[in-house]
Amino acid sequence: MIVISLYCFLLLLLHRILIIKSIVFQYETKCKSSQFIDLENLIGSLHTYAPNSTKLIVRDMGLTNGQQDLLKRYENIQIVSSNYAQSSNIQQIDVDHEFILINNTLYSRNNQGKYPFIDLIRKQFSFALVIPFIESQLNNLIHLLNLTEIYLPCQKYFHSTDLIFYHNEESSSVLEKNITKLNYQNKCFKNIYYFAANLSADEDMYPGGSAYMWKKLFSNESTNTISLRARGYTHFFLMEPDTRPIRSYWLDAIIEKITNRYDQQSHISTNWWMIGSIYRGTIPVGKEFLHINGNALYHLSLDFIRFIENVSNEIPNVLGKTKGYDLDLFLYMFKHVDIAKNVWHKFQFTDLIQNCWHSGCNDTDTDFIHMNPNTYLVHGNKILPKIMFDILSTIPTLLSTSFYKCNIVKDFLVLCKRKLTSKNKFKKNLFKQKN
């Protein structure tokens, strides 16, 4: 009798557990465009503390298209119109509140104007590879595109990955026409776009010009056609023309930093802002060596954008003030130590890309390739051995398309040289072993 009673009790307990697990908790809030930072903090707290099946219904009170696109990528978020019929059994929560967990019980409280949960949102990524360039870098850009034909970017197609050519001039300029004439195509990218920064004469000066272009990508203004967030992107990689691949499937390696080996349909959180290379040069630069080079992977987090705005307010993009947009981020943290203590972990070093500026690394050297198995990209001024430029510089390059094709030959010869060097070294080692 006792055994039967115990059996019935266990069945009843199991039944109650299944019922609880099958319950889908739902909350509803309403949000205007200006309140989106509050909404993202609320969603991040939901993803942190609420059961995984918990859903949040967002009543659209004037969100931008980019904000709507982002919400569609966030896990368990449903957007409804402002006149959507409200359900009586769905609990309401103010958009400026956040969830907290106390003794395994879920509560909500006002966020007090602080947003600690933004980077904890689980979302499907939308990625852009951005190649910024100016007129004087067009030849380097063509070399880079040639190398992508030799070192294939990906093994499989990513439906959430776009390529953006981004120049400093106005739209429909001669520079933009020259790059579009190349008609670059690659199956690894869903779309290929052309962005124009339209810099003024005062803005278009080094190093301020590159900083203006970089910051326009992070703009949180829906009216800015260059704003990546306004277009629904969650992450991007900045790849200047003097950055180049040294082995195939480099785009796969970049995407893996975002997905952390999850498939591209998964909802993931990326609690970092920037991933890139430390300074590897031989010239002493003091504590500045700790900065991450701007050719890096970025998370388009609202928290990061607010941080960038604070840096810009203190270090403007004018000659004598800025030392470069990437170095400015770290000089700001060196000055504001209390801020740095809370955000430094969001800047992460990697050898996926190496900053070879003022360094001895040579990506045409086979030993460098073998000794750096995790490196897929290098950044620096050295593109090809100078002797090869001298030999091949007499090839006619009247048309950009012809120039594009003949440079493939140049880059292919570099690859052959590397393979030949590797083969000769293997033969020498084999000869030593035999003798």
| 290 in a structural domain | yes
| 186 in a structural domain | yes
The residues, ordered by sequence, that sit 6+ positions from 41 with a Cβ below 8 Å of its Cβ are 98, 111, 115, 116, 117, 118
Residue ranges of the chain whose pLDDT lies below 70? 1-24, 318-320, 358-360, 381-435
Same domain, 116 and 217: no
Question: How far is residue 365's CA from residue 377's CA, in Å, rounded to a whole number?
Answer: 14
How close are the terminal C-alpha atoms of the chain, in Å?
86
| 39 in a structural domain | yes
Same domain, 218 and 342: yes
Question: How far is residue 355's CA from residue 120's CA, in Å, rounded to a whole number?
Answer: 29
Same domain, 371 and 401: no
Same domain, 286 and 248: yes
Structure tokens at 318: 């004018």
Structure tokens at 292: 């991450």
Question: How far is residue 338's CA from residue 164's CA, in Å, rounded to a whole number?
Answer: 36
CATH number at residue 226: 3.90.550.10
Question: How far is residue 140's CA from residue 193's CA, in Å, rounded to a whole number?
Answer: 19
Q: Which domain holds residue 410?
A: 386-427
| 432 in a structural domain | no
Same domain, 65 and 159: no
| 6 in a structural domain | no
| Residue entry with tokens 């272009």 | 213
Q: What is the pLDDT of residues 119-148, one digit of tens each?
A: 999 999 999 999 999 999 999 999 999 999
Same domain, 46 and 92: yes
Same domain, 143 and 93: no
| 395 in a structural domain | yes
pLDDT score of 10:
46
Same domain, 101 and 136: no
Q: What is the DSSP string of 97-147?
A: EEEEEETTEEEEEE-TT--TTGGG--B---EEEEEEE-GGGHHHHHHHHHH
| 8 in a structural domain | no
Same domain, 238 and 284: yes
Question: How far is residue 362's CA from residue 374's CA, in Å, rounded to a whole number?
Answer: 15
Same domain, 330 and 185: yes
What's the structural domain count of the chain?
A: 3
pLDDT score of 417:
53
Which of 74, 101, 120 is a domain's end point? 120
Indicate the residue type of 283: I
Which of 120, 146, 176 is a domain's end point? 120
pLDDT score of 221:
76
Same domain, 150 and 55: no
Which of 345, 361, 379 is a domain's end point? 379
Question: How far is residue 326's CA from residue 200's CA, in Å, rounded to a whole number?
Answer: 22
Same domain, 417 and 286: no
| 9 in a structural domain | no
| pTM attached to this predicted model | 0.84
CA trace torsion 384, 390, 395, 401 (10° rounding):
30
CA trace torsion 60, 61, 64, 66 (10° rounding):
-30
